[in-house]
A and B are shown apart, each in its own frame.
Chain A
C-alpha cells in the first residue's frame, strides 16, 4: 500500500528565509508525486508534480522539489519565503496506473515578519 509521511506538523520561518518541507513516501513502483498548498478554508492548489524525467521540478510561486528515489523523498523547497506563503502544505503520492492519491498529514507553515 502507498503511504506518505510528512514528519513536520508545524514549521515557523522568518520572511526571507529559506524553506524545506519534508516528504517521504512508500510505494512499490515509480510514484507520481505532488505538492499541494491549502490556504485556510480553501481547496488545494497544485504547486508542482513529478512523474518522470528530471528529478528537480520547478513549480509555481517559486517552489521546487527534488525527487530522490534512494531516500524515497520528495522535499519541497523555496529559497526565500514570503508572508503570503503561510498555509498548509500537503504532499501526495499516486500510482502510475490509477488515480487514487494518498495524502500526507500536512505541514502548517507559519511565516514571521
Chain B
C-alpha cells in the first residue's frame, strides 16, 4: 500500500496564532510532497511542492512567509500557517509521491483548519 497520514485531522485556533500540520508517508519514502488547499465545494489548488532537504517551491499567489513548509525527511513534511486569520480557514491536503516525476500521488485525509 501507500498510506499518507495527516495530523491533526482538524484544528481550531484563534486569529494571530500559528498552526502546524504534519504530513507523513507511512509505508514508503516520498521523494516529493505536495500541499493543496481546498475551499468548500471547490477543487484542489496546489500551494507548494516540497522535496526533502530543499526549499519548497510555491505556486504563484501563495505567500511563502505565511505558509511555511519544511520537508525534514523522506517521510515527513510540515505546513505551518503563521499568524492565521479567518480567511486561512480551509481544508488542507497533502500528497506524497513515491518515485519518479509523474508517478502517482497518494493523498492524505486532509486537515480542516478553522480560524476564529
Contact = CB atoms under 8 A, between A and B. Distances in A.
Interface of A: 32, 34, 36, 41-46, 49, 51, 90, 94-106, 108
A101 B110 contact: no
B102 A36 contact: no
B67 interface: no
B46 A100 contact: yes
Interface of B: 4, 6, 32, 34, 41-44, 46, 49, 93, 95, 97, 101-110, 112
Nearest to B31: A99
Nearest to B103: A99
Nearest to A94: B102
B108 A99 contact: no
A13 to B, nearest CB: 20
B23 to A, nearest CB: 10
Contacts of B46: 100-102
A51 to B, nearest CB: 7
A34 B110 CA distance: 19
Contact of A43 (B34, B41, B43, B107): B107
Nearest to B46: A100
29 contacts: A41-B110, A42-B109, A43-B109, A44-B95, A44-B107, A46-B106, A46-B107, A49-B104, A51-B102, A90-B43, A90-B44, A94-B102, A96-B101, A96-B102, A97-B101, A97-B102, A98-B101, A99-B32, A99-B49, A99-B101, A99-B103, A101-B34, A101-B46, A103-B44, A105-B42, A105-B43, A106-B42, A106-B43, A108-B41
